[in-house]
Structure 1
Amino acid sequence: MKAKTGRYSGYIRPFSYLIDFIIINALSIYLVPVHEQPLFYAFLISFGWFIIAVYLGFYEVYRYTRVITILNNALKQTALFGLFCLALERYYSEFFNQKKVVLFVITVVLLVLSIKLFIYYFLRRLRVLYGGNSRTVVLLGNEEKINPLKDFFTDNPDYGYRLVRIFPLKEDKKLQIKECLSFVFQKEIDEIYCSLADLSENEMADIIDFADNNLKTLKFIPDGNQILSANIKFEFYDYIPVISLRNILQEERFNKFIKRIFDLVFSSFIIIAILSWLVPIMAILIKWESKGPVFFIQKRNGLNYKKFNCYKFRSMAINDTADLELSSKNDARITRIGKFIRKTSIDELPQFFNVFFDEMSVVGPRPHMVSVANLYASKVDKFMVRHFVKPGITGLAQTKGFRGEVETDEDIINRVKYDIFYIENWSILLDIEIIFKTIFNTLKGDDKAY
């Protein structure tokens, strides 16, 4: 449930509706050909915009919404609204002008998106400077479960969550819960965040009843074993509800088509523009320093855990442990040219051949060599989820600093978490964002690239 506790927050969305309505109607008058009934035509255009927006959740922007989500929804809104306007114009007007309709759609979306992003960043700045548009919150649970969220609230004031108090559940849980709920009621706290692992069913029921009866927003913090999926999907077999734990967006036919076209175009460009001249140069340098092949070919686990040959420029001297031991810092097996190409990630470029042959994607969970993947599959919870999609040359986990050598269990656990987040929140814009971040990190220099 959404509590109505904000002073002026409730006016933001109606204000956005009004501004967008004015933009759409004003531009339809100036950019779209004249119609016999301009008011009725403007009504149809506006009606189409808002119906599509409701269907896509275009206005569902919250303080925790990421910019990439806003841009992704704007892209979908542009496509559907454009098709609607073209169809309406062809049916409604005797003088069909495709260019003017396309110009109208693009101009509308750019203006609406600019205002939406201005409001989004203005509110973030307002929360930092003046504490406005904020919500008061309390945390209920043991420290190890609630500390990550506590740190998030403390380190990100621009989200507008003001942490007022923490209620640890150590000894007398009933007393702590009662004290927490009393505090929330007396201080008019907006939101309660509870650690799910620290509560019994009866305790959860009591807290839910309190939140419902006092119009408080209640949210639960699961631990890793309690997370089912970020995209739980309800399906009905006749009247029988069935829960699908993971909605893999890349399995949908249209999404699969878009991602494959993107991969083909991107990999073809890299192969023609870069690898066509880089391969001969690398062949000379690699063979000049050490005997052996130019390419290092290793079995990796890909989509559905099937093995494929992964291509890289060889960066090590020929050795018997290449398929058993991961590289480490100051690894004696790495050649001098190998150090350079690993530091600059040039050794990964031949994997664009894997992308072209549909064994990998430009962006996705990074594949591990077979021996390591088998070890992690038995040791790390949810590791196998990564293999619901094709592996990638780069991925979200790599842009967040979890690449290269796995020094601690936390490294691989966090890598899996980011990979699962990517799988369940995929969009073509997210792929583009990851690619740009990868290029930036490469140019800046990555400490874990060795």
Structure 2
Amino acid sequence: MKNSYFIIPISLLVHIVTLNLTFYIFTPQTYLNAFSVVYLNVTWLVITHTLDFYPTARREGFMTYLNNFFRLFFFYALAYFALFAFLGYNPYSIDYLLGVYVLICVLLTLYRSLFFWARDKYRTHGGNNVNVVVIGRDKNLKKIRHVFDNSNFGYRYLGYFDNYKSKSPTYLGDIQSSFAYIFENNIDEVYCMASRLSKEEVKQLMSIADNSLKRIKIIPDNKELISRAMSIELYDTVPVLDLRASPLELQYSERVKRIFDIVFSSLAIICVLSWLTPLVFILLKIDSKGPLFFRQKRHGVNRKTFWCYKFRSMTQSDDSDTLMATKNDMRITRLGRILRKTSIDELPQFFNVLIGDMSVVGPRPHMEVHTQQYETSVDKYLVRHFLKPGITGLAQVKGYRGEIVERSDIVNRVRYDIFYLEKWSLWLDLRIIFNTITNAVKGEERAY
């Protein structure tokens, strides 16, 4: 970032001062020990360095790398509370120490908010701007203009060069004339459309970059393949595009989600299913003949088949594995209508979560026959199988649960499932769970 040399030192200083002042004011006995002072500061430096917490990307905003912000709070909390184990005594109660730490988190979040607010205001008034031009015009020019036109990012777009003349007010001339223009007009960054440049022109631009203080950035000829979910990896010196990247591909994210699944499903089994299962068993025996549980083969992650468990809500029939429940379905028992309306029939799937076949949140698993039907008729349907299926999911809380009446139902369900795959976060899972509980209490039109 241009003129950003002091951003990291200032932010680091503010953070260190905030930490030490808060600890000194609210836990003064901690500061009677020199080891405590050194420990609290060194662990902050080590953790922030490990997490690469102080990036200075021009397009960084308050929400950018927010997951890193919460990871920092989590790991520093572990280090903070471990301090008293090292000291061998605790002069304050755990509740009090937790309150002090929450205050620190609030203060640091407030500083982050004020920092980006002040930076955005400064850039809006012309400060911290960089002059940019684009060489070559293709479909990506319009897209990247949206980034340049965002005043919070601090770009000053001057125009583009292309060998095809245009009457556009931002057209600056042919590609050959761009070389002189870059030096004569104090251009900071040059964005080049690879699809519009010859090999020799690219080499010439690279030479400019190597022999000047100009930043040259190449926008690849993506053949319309690149999406928001794409990531790039280097295999030695060969760039490789991953067109369907997900946060859950990271080992850290995968483990966090699995730990959450184990803890949440264990609590659900111990606190709810332990007493609810015998009650449902008695009521089912009174209501209709048949077993307590209904199990069905469904497709999970990587299209692997697993047994999905539910409380039985229908009479036994030969078409249970091929025919989805419909509104006013005669197969649904009296008790079954209550179980389905409140989604209680789905609760045994917490056993599926505990053994690892499912997750608490994810795309809903479909019957085998439906997977075979939709994988050839619905675009990108199989993408949802990159994840473990869930007891609830984003599509379900957005209204796309239960019976598929129209084609738009399955299309939108897949769309939300793919969005969840690309944008997963623990916070998103918690929001989906909260909305699921809220919907179950209020009642849903399509819960039948």
Asked if TM exceeds 0.5, the reply is yes
Aligned to 2:261: 263
Q: 1:125 to 1:244 in 2, by over 3 A?
A: closer
Tell me the distance in 2 between the aligned counterparts of 1:44 and 1:412.
50
What amino acid maps onto 2:392 in structure 1?
T
Question: Is 1:360 aligned with 2:361?
Answer: no
Task: Please give the TM-score of this superposition, normalised by the length of structure 2.
Answer: 0.66
Matched AA of 1:110:
V
Matched, 1:117 2:118: no
User: Aligned partners of 2:283 and 2:119: how far apart in 1?
Assistant: 55
Alignment of 1:35-434 (within 5 A): 35=33, 38=34, 42=37, 45-60=40-55, 62-65=61-64, 70-79=69-78, 90=86, 96-97=88-89, 109-119=101-111, 179-180=169-170, 200-202=195-197, 225-227=225-227, 229-234=229-234, 243=240, 245=242, 258-286=256-284, 288-331=286-329, 333-380=331-378, 382-406=380-404, 407-408=407-408, 410-422=411-423, 425-427=424-426, 429-434=427-432
Aligned mates of 1:217, 1:97 — CA distance in 2 = 56
Distance 1:218 1:104 in 2: 53
Distance apart, 1:393 and its partner CA: 1.2
Cα contact 1:58–1:77 (8 A) shared by 2: no
User: Which residue identity does 2:50 align to in structure 1?
Assistant: Y
Q: By how many angstroms is 1:255 displaced?
A: 5.7
Between the aligned partners of 1:96 and 1:400, the Cα distance in structure 2 is: 51
Distance in 2 (CA, whole Å) between partners of 1:214 and 1:329 is 65
Q: Check 1:202–1:79 CA distance in 2 against 1; reply closer, same or farther (3 A cut).
A: farther
Distance in 2 of aligned mates of 1:133 and 1:443: 49
Amino acid at match of 1:227: S
1:207-251 deviation digits (Å, cap 9, x = unpaired): xx8xx9998999999898433845545465xxx657483777657
- The 1-side partners of 2:166 and 2:435 are apart by 44
Structure 1 residue 414: Cα displacement: 0.9
Partner residue, 1:20: 15
SS in 1 for 2:447: coil
User: Shift of residue 266 of structure 1?
Assistant: 2.3
Q: State the Cα distance separating 1:412 from its structure 2 match.
A: 3.5
Instruction: For structure 1, list consecutive stretches of 5 or more residues without a partner in the other structure.
Output: none
The 3-state SS of whatever aligns with 1:226 is: coil
Sequence identity, in percent?
A: 34
Aligned pair count? Answer: 413
The equivalent residue for 1:439 is 437
Query: Counterparts of 2:273 and 2:339 in 1: how far apart (Å)?
Result: 14
Whole-angstrom CA distance in 1 between matches of 2:106 and 2:239 = 40
Summarize deviations over 1:277-311 as a string: whole Å, max 9, x none. Answer: 32333344445555443332111112332211111
Give 3-state SS (helix, strand or coil) of 2:64's partner.
coil
- Would the alpha carbon gap of residues 445 and 179 (structure 1) be closer, same or farther in structure 2, given more than 3 Å must change? farther
Tell me how large the CA RMSD over aligned residues is.
5.6
Give SS of 2:32's match.
coil
Change beyond 3 A, Cα 1:45–1:69:
closer
Aligned mates of 2:229, 2:52 — CA distance in 1: 20
Unaligned runs of 5+ in 2: 173-180, 182-187
Give the structure with higher Rg (CA): 2
**Aligned letter for 1:22?**
V
Output the CA distance in 2 between the equivalents of 1:286 and 1:192: 70
Relative contact order higher in (CA < 8 Å, ≥ 6 apart): 1
Q: Give, in angstroms, the shift of residue 62 of structure 1.
A: 1.7
Measure, in 2, the Cα distance between the counterparts of 1:191 and 1:290.
73
Amino acid at match of 1:115: L
What amino acid is the match of 1:279? T
> How much has 1:119 moved relative to structure 2?
4.5
TM norm structure 1: 0.65
Q: Does the 8 A contact of 2:231 with 2:245 survive in 1? A: yes
Q: What is the rounded CA distance, in whole Å, between the counterparts of 1:228 and 1:125 in structure 2?
A: 26
Query: Aligned partner of 1:65: which letter?
Result: T
Please report how far the alpha carbon of residue 383 of structure 1 lies from its aligned counterpart in structure 2 after TM superposition. 4.0
Amino acid at match of 2:102: L
